[in-house]
Structures are given as C-alpha cells and as structure tokens.
Amino acid sequence: MSTQTSPPTPTDDDVPEFTASGGDWAQIAEEAARLGEERIVVNMGPQHPSTHGVLRLVLEIDGESVVEARAGIGYLHTGIEKNMEFRTWTQGVTFCTRMDYVAPLFQEAAYCLGVEKLLGVEVPERATLIRVLLMELNRISSHLVAIATGGNELGATTIMTIGFREREEILRIFELITGLRMNHAYIRPGGVAQDIPPGTTDTVRDALPRIERGLDELAKLMLANPIFKARQVGVGYLSLSAAMALGVTGPVLRSAGLPFDLRKAQPYCGYETYDFDVPTSTDSDAYSRIVLRLDEARESIKIVRQVLERLDAQDRTGSHPVMVADKKIAWPAQLALGPDGQGNSAEHIRTIMGTSMEALIHHFKLVTEGFRVPAGQVFSQVEHPRGVIGVHLVSDGGTRPYRAHFRDPSFNNLQALAAMCEGGQVADVVVAVASLDPVLGGVDR
C-alpha cells in the first residue's frame, strides 16, 4: 500500500517575481512609487477595438475611477506630410486622401483649395458643385461610422449593422463617380478628375430616402433607449470654455453650445449660397454629440438635394468643364472608367497621340514632372466631419511642395480626452473616445 503526500506549500521566497520594462514604463513606475499610493496603471491599446485606430491610452485608475488619462500617439508611422515633399502637386492628393480614411474627400478638398490659391486659378462651377456633393455625402457616411462604431463598442450590434448598411448606399455612389469606395484622389488641383457619369443625379436622388429612413431608424433605436441614455447622458462632459481652450472643433464644440461651422463662418466652395442650419446643443456630453451627428447628416441631405438641382440645371444647358482651361495646369479631365475600374478613356488617348507630337510631349511632361506653383505660402481650411481641417502649403516655385502640413481635427480633439475621462469610470472611457470620433490615420500623418 502506497501513501501520497501533498506538495509543500510555497513560501514567499519560492514565488517568482516578474519585472516589466521597456518603453516609458520605468518613468510611470517611478512616478507611482513617488506618489506612494496604491493606484493601478493600465494600457488601453494601442491595439484595442474601442480606440478607433492605433491609439494608446495610459490610464491610472483607483478602483473603477480614472485618476489620470494620457493619450499616446504615433504608432502608424505614415509620414504622409514628409512624403508629399517628394511628389508633384497633383500626386500629393493621393497621399493626403489616405490620412483620415473615413472622410478622405475633405483632405483632398482642403489641399486642392490651397494649391489653387497659390496658383491663382478659379475652379469651374461644375467642379465646385461636384466637390460639395461628394463632401456632404462623405459627411453623412463619416457620421454613420461614428454612430455605428460607438454603438458596437457598447455591445449594441444592431446600431453598427444599421449604420454600415446606410453607409454602403453612399460608398456605392462614390464608386460610381470616382471608381473607388475610399481614398479616391478624385478632387484634383484645378477641378476634379472627371465629370459625373450620366444618371448620377437620379441614382443619388433615389438613395437619399433610404439613407433618411436609416437615420430615423437609428434615432428610434438609440435616443429613447434607457440603457443607451444611461451610458451616454452626462458622460464625456466638456464645457465650452475647456473646448475653446483646447482648440476643439466640430460636433464636440457645437455640443457645448457654440454654433461654429466654417461653412457659415468662412464660406468656401459656394456654401454661402446653400440653405442649411448648424445644429447645436448645450449639454456638452456624449449623448448630445450623437444627436448632433444625426441632425448634421440630415442637414447634409438638404445640401445634397440643392446640389442635385443645380447639376440637373447645368445638364439641360449643355456640357460644362470640370477642370481649369489652362493646359499648363490642367491634368486630363476627359477620363472614363475602364474595365478594371480606372484609367483614361481610349478615345482621349487616341486624341492625345493622334493630334501632334507636341501634344503628346506636353501630356507626358505634365503627368511625370508636374506643373510649377508660384513661390509663396497659403493656409486653407474646410469643415471636416470631426472639425476644422487646415492645410499649410509652402512653395519654392517648383513642381513639388516645399512643405505640406495639416491641422487634423482628430489630433487637436484628442487633447480633450483627459478632461473628459478623469474623475469618471473606466467603462466611460470607451464612450468618451467614441464621442470624440478620432481617426488615427489623421492623427499620425
């Protein structure tokens, strides 16, 4: 008969110790030791489903309460602004459109408006109408992503599926017009890459009622839901004075009561000729920002309908240019989508190659070398779905930007994260981040 003895109980000397190091953890540990308090420092991200990208949040918590919140950025390493210095002015569009990949057309518009100011050219009216059409549709799709992802992060999957379903309606329109669902590089210095295909206005007009029904469905699902309101009302509070001190813009600023919208304050692309309102609130919390984004999407639909009427009026009076007439600047705008969804039309290529050798040489030099932009600097800005996006361009008279720097709204708005989270619960950090709606592609540009 055998006997079995239990293993000895380990003493404190037998328990292994593990020390985490690297990065800035040494400084964080020293600070915690200096304070002499039993607080926990945790990482939220940089890979986390609720950070809207590669965002790192360093949270110092006491129980369930957030004592300190710090945002860590720079994990994408895109180098977009620096890369633009080594490409022609037109090629720069293909870089900046990839910054905020949820709202790419606003970077394209802000950048091209700056280039056009330096060139001293005026864009044809039809090109401006197409730009406004695309930007307002993009504003709706961006707000739908903000609402959909914010709902999904709280466990409300239905909010996500409805939001992305309606976004698909808009992405189909983008693909019809530009050939791509995102990162379009469609807005070019001097105009747009090509005119809208025949029947586009009817397609957009048919899609708008479905998008409106989706917005109404989201409102019914969220705004009176007691669970949703319990997670949103009073969470992520940011006063008007704090928002202005931190340079916050967009729906977050308007949720604090200031009706600041560049489309009204400093109109561009003819926005002063459109009838629309700027929704505001004074609640300054996450719930009010959801309501504002829904209201702003409806105002964008109003603008889109006005643009469609103007485009139809132009169509009844013949063809209209979508690119400036100056052949030293204008990239070919007589483009048509090929079988692979991109490329010049065969008819245009035959015209270029069959007209004269000089025309072919000019076309080659314009595309490969680019056009020259007079020396100088300019600052251009537009109203992005997340706030004011600005671009500072410097030209030394060459065919490439000497410097291109963007004021991305997500970058500035992230400064408010500590003020919105500290003193609240850990679970409310997710809600606060979602209400800011940052896109890290624009932050780490």
pLDDT at 68: 84
* 40 and 61 Cβ atoms separated by less than 8 Å: yes
Q: How many residues does the chain have?
A: 445
**Given pLDDT bands bounded at 50, 70 and 90, which one contains residue 133?**
very high
CA 142 to chain centre: 7
State the Cα–Cα distance between residues 131 and 307, nearest whole angstrom.
10
Place of tokens 């025309």: 359
State the Cα–Cα distance between residues 128 and 268, nearest whole angstrom.
10
Residue 388 has pLDDT above 70, yes or no: yes
Helix H, strand E, coil C: the string for the chain is CCCCCCCCCCCCCCCCCCCCCCCCHHHHHHHHHHHCCCCEEEEECCCCCCCCCCCEEEEEEECCEEEEEEEECCCCCCCHHHHHCCCCCCCHHHHHCCCCCCCHHHHHHHHHHHHHHHHCCCCCHHHHHHHHHHHHHHHHHHHHHHHHHHHHHCCCHHHHHHHHHHHHHHHHHHHHHHCCCCCCCCEECCEECCCCCCCHHHHHHHHHHHHHHHHHHHHHHHCCCHHHHHHHCCCCCCCHHHHHHCCCCCHHHHCCCCCCCHHHHCCCCCHHHCCCCCCCCCCCCHHHHHHHHHHHHHHHHHHHHHHHHHHHHHHCCCCCCCECCCCCCCCCCCECCCCCCCCECHHHHHHHHHHCHHHHHHHHHHHHCCCCCCCEEEEEEEEECCEEEEEEEEECCCCCCCEEEEECHHHHHHHHHHHHHCCCECHHHHHHHHHHCCCHHHHCC
The answer to the question of residue 40 being in a domain is no
pLDDT at 2: 47
This prediction's pTM: 0.85
pLDDT at 207: 93
Report the candidate in 115, 58, 81, 134 with the shortest Cα–Cα distance to residue 442. Answer: 81
**Given pLDDT bands bounded at 50, 70 and 90, which one contains residue 352?**
low
The answer to the question of residue 143 being in a domain is yes
Which tens digit of pLDDT belongs to each residue from 276-317?
A: 999 998 888 889 999 999 999 999 999 999 999 999 988 888
Which tens digit of pLDDT belongs to each residue from 193-203?
A: 888 888 899 99
More confident residue, 176 or 340: 176
* 135 and 106 Cβ atoms separated by less than 8 Å: yes
Structurally, the chain folds into a number of domains equal to: 1
State the Cα–Cα distance between residues 247 and 440, nearest whole angstrom.
18
The answer to the question of residue 51 being in a domain is no
pLDDT at 404: 92
Report the candidate in 306, 380, 383, 278 with the shortest Cα–Cα distance to residue 129. Answer: 306
pLDDT at 390: 92
Q: Which two tokens stand for residue 83?
A: 């890369």
Average pLDDT over residues 329-344: 58
The answer to the question of residue 269 being in a domain is yes
The answer to the question of residue 234 being in a domain is yes
Residue 185 has pLDDT above 80, yes or no: yes
The answer to the question of residue 41 being in a domain is no
Which tens digit of pLDDT belongs to each residue from 4-46?
A: 555 555 555 555 554 555 566 667 667 666 665 567 888 887 7
Report, in angstroms and rounded to the nearest whole number, the Rg of the chain calculated over CA atoms.
26
The answer to the question of residue 37 being in a domain is no
**Residue 221, CA distances (Å) to 147, 229, 313 in order:** 12, 11, 39
Which tens digit of pLDDT belongs to each residue from 87-107?
A: 998 889 999 898 888 999 999
**CATH code for position 209:** 1.10.645.10
Range of the structural domain that residue 192 is part of: 81-334+345-410
The answer to the question of residue 39 being in a domain is no
First-to-last C-alpha distance (Å) of the chain? 74
Q: Which two tokens stand for residue 309?
A: 């009427």
